[in-house]
Amino acid sequence: MAVGRRSSMALLVVLAAASAMSLTLIPATLAVTSPYVRPPARPTLPLLQVPDDSDGQAPQQVHISMVGPDKMRVSWITDEDAPATVEYGTTSGHYPLSVTGSTTSYSYLLYRSGKIHDAVIGPLQPSTTYYYRCSSSPSREFSFRTPPATLPFKFVIVGDFGQTGWTETTLQHIAAVDHDMLLLPGDLSYADFIQSRWDSYGRLVEPLASSRPWMVTEGNHEIEKLPIVAPTPFVAYNARWRMPYDAGTTPSPDNLYYSFDVAGGAVHVIMLGSYTDFAAGSPQHEWLRRDLAAVASRSTAAFVVALVHAPWYNTNKAHMGSGDAMQEAMEGLLYGARVDAVFAGHVHAYERFRRVYAGREDPCGPVHITIGDGGNREGLAKRYEEPQPAMSAFREASFGHGRLEVVNATHALWTWHRNDDDVAVVADQVWITSLRANPACNKNRSEAVVESE
């Protein structure tokens, strides 16, 4: 037994070393389809236990999201009525500051949600650990670290989580790496109409989502619309995952799309909505134009990244073409504003493209990356278009997560970490350099922005 374990550890080390080496051996111009084959998807986890809660006032499913440069929204649920109060401070067990927010709840078929609270706390100091408790409940103390106000800035990016054994592995790998914020391009719980699964998902992600801001946008699994009995889309998602759409430099009218700045404005993040109207003239399209124009006029924004659910570039046979209409409506706007990278989910695999625009490689277009590999119950998307087009730099059907470390105003390091059973293996890595700092892409930028408007 012990020998067997030791030899499989040795094998892992060899595999990790081999995959690290293969990185340096991949010629920059080659399109690579990784030969790695992972076992089938793991089953959905049983519904997680509710914490001991005799008075129904224990906070659960706690998560936080950034609001403007120095505030944080705390969101949580209690089974029974409880005050929407967050008490906080910089010392454990001592909460000199307090904010009371608001409470909502929703019904879906026969399901009645708990009391869903949120309160916005701040102003907060950057890079500082705060301790807090919710609903004045002495039962649980939480803590988070605020993001830094300057570069470097470390994002974790991963979509299509679900709540399986693979999700758990992904979360463990994320927990083991220092990061400032998590970005999620849609498909959170895979509740798929069974509302108690939103609750179990909230409990599953709470250890991470209560300690770093989780900024999410919606996927198709968030829609949960049914004819006649549930005609309103996004009921659970909007109630449970309220994002700062009405804050920031360009407030949006809808929780389904928004943008925000981090690192003192050095990075601008645009969360687009793949499942609400995006056509020219729609509120989302108008809002995006305003947002990009505002960013273009700001010299402090070194990097601009966008997230969508359905990918605009994809050589996987799963969901091929599902982002085409949105690409047609919005790609020109992002290109004109020199957006550096676009991250998508939906396809349950990893794929990184070179810089592309209008279906072709373009040195001034964004890097497109599909990162829908959080670990959901639908399993992996393994069938690819062959031969691999040259614009697709690397693709692999494995679960894992991505990290984007914006090092300074010109350089960001992207790495993709496969969940190789017990260790997070770096399987793909590339430097992304800021397009705004690239003179070749900015000779006629103001012209390009005007043109696309």
Ligand X SMILES: *[C@@H]1O[C@H](CO)[C@@H](O)[C@H](O)[C@H]1NC(C)=O
Catalytic positions, written as ranges:
319
The three-class DSSP label of residue 221 is helix
Q: How far is the CB of 53 from ligand X (least distance, A)?
A: 48
Q: How far is the CB of 444 from ligand X (least distance, A)?
A: 4
CA 416/CA 182 separation, integer angstroms: 14
CB-wise, 57 or 376, nearer to Fe ion?
Answer: 376
CB-wise, 5 or 360, nearer to ligand X?
Answer: 360
127-132: long-range pairs with CB below 8 Å, 24+: 128/90, 129/90, 130/72, 130/88, 130/89, 130/90, 131/88, 131/89, 131/90, 131/91, 131/92, 131/93, 131/94, 131/95, 132/74, 132/86, 132/87, 132/88, 132/89, 132/95
Residue selected from 87, 118, 180, 187 as contacting Fe ion according to rule CB under 5 A: 187
Residue 285-324 contact track with Fe ion, rule CB under 5 A, x = bound: ----------------------------------------
Q: What angle do CA 150, 152, 155 make, to 5 degrees?
A: 110
CB-wise, 390 or 450, nearer to ligand X?
Answer: 450
Q: How far is the CB of 166 from ligand X (least distance, A)?
A: 33
**Which position's Cβ is nearest Fe ion?**
346
Binding partner of residue 438 among Fe ion, ligand X, none, CB cut-off 5 to 8 Å per kind: none
Q: How many CB atoms lie within 10 A of CB 305?
A: 25
Q: How far is the CB of 376 from ligand X (least distance, A)?
A: 34
Q: How far is the CB of 172 from Fe ion (least distance, A)?
A: 23
The three-class DSSP label of residue 447 is helix
Q: Alpha helices, DSSP H only, in 124-185?
A: 165-175
CA 121/CA 222 separation, integer angstroms: 27
CB-wise, 124 or 448, nearer to ligand X?
Answer: 448
Is the Cβ–Cβ distance between 204 and 169 less than 8 Å? no
Q: What is the DSSP letter of 249?
A: S
* Cα Rg of the chain, angstroms: 22
Residue selected from 73, 140, 268, 346 as contacting Fe ion according to rule CB under 5 A: 346
Q: Which stretch binds Fe ion (CB under 5 A): 68-76, 223-231, 245-253, 338-346?
A: 338-346
Is the Cβ–Cβ distance between 117 and 75 less than 8 Å? yes
Q: Which stretch binds Fe ion (CB under 5 A): 182-190, 363-371, 384-392, 438-446?
A: 182-190
Binding partner of residue 220 among Fe ion, ligand X, none, CB cut-off 5 to 8 Å per kind: Fe ion
Is 232 exposed, middle or buried, given 0-12, 13-18 or 19+ CB atoms closer than 10 A? exposed
Is the Cβ–Cβ distance between 362 and 370 less than 8 Å? no
Q: What angle do CA 254, 256, 259 make, to 5 degrees?
A: 85
Binding partner of residue 408 among ligand X, Fe ion, none, CB cut-off 5 to 8 Å per kind: ligand X
Binding partner of residue 356 among Fe ion, ligand X, none, CB cut-off 5 to 8 Å per kind: none
Q: How far is the CB of 407 from ligand X (least distance, A)?
A: 5
Binding partner of residue 219 among ligand X, Fe ion, none, CB cut-off 5 to 8 Å per kind: Fe ion
CB-wise, 259 or 434, nearer to ligand X?
Answer: 434
CB-wise, 226 or 407, nearer to ligand X?
Answer: 407
Binding partner of residue 346 among Fe ion, ligand X, none, CB cut-off 5 to 8 Å per kind: Fe ion
Q: Which stretch binds Fe ion (CB under 5 A): 186-194, 195-203, 243-251, 406-414?
A: 186-194
Q: Which stretch binds Fe ion (CB under 5 A): 54-62, 241-249, 346-354, 418-426?
A: 346-354
Sites of contact with ligand X (CB under 6 A): 364, 407-408, 410-411, 441, 444, 448
Residue 204-233 contact track with Fe ion, rule CB under 5 A, x = bound: ---------------xx-------------
Helices 196-209 and 165-175 sit at what angle, rounded to 10 degrees?
20
Q: How far is the CB of 400 from ligand X (least distance, A)?
A: 24
Q: How many CB atoms lie within 10 A of CB 18?
A: 10
Q: How far is the CB of 256 from ligand X (least distance, A)?
A: 30
Binding partner of residue 249 among Fe ion, ligand X, none, CB cut-off 5 to 8 Å per kind: none
**H or E element in which residue 160 lies:** none
CA 177/CA 156 separation, integer angstroms: 9
Binding partner of residue 162 among Fe ion, ligand X, none, CB cut-off 5 to 8 Å per kind: none
CB-wise, 74 or 412, nearer to ligand X?
Answer: 412
Q: How many CB atoms lie within 10 A of CB 208?
A: 17
CA 417/CA 402 separation, integer angstroms: 6
The three-class DSSP label of residue 440 is helix
CA atoms within 13 A on the CB side of 215: 28
Q: Which stretch binds Fe ion (CB under 5 A): 39-47, 165-173, 245-253, 342-350?
A: 342-350
- Where does this chain bind Fe ion (CB under 5 A)? 187, 219-220, 346
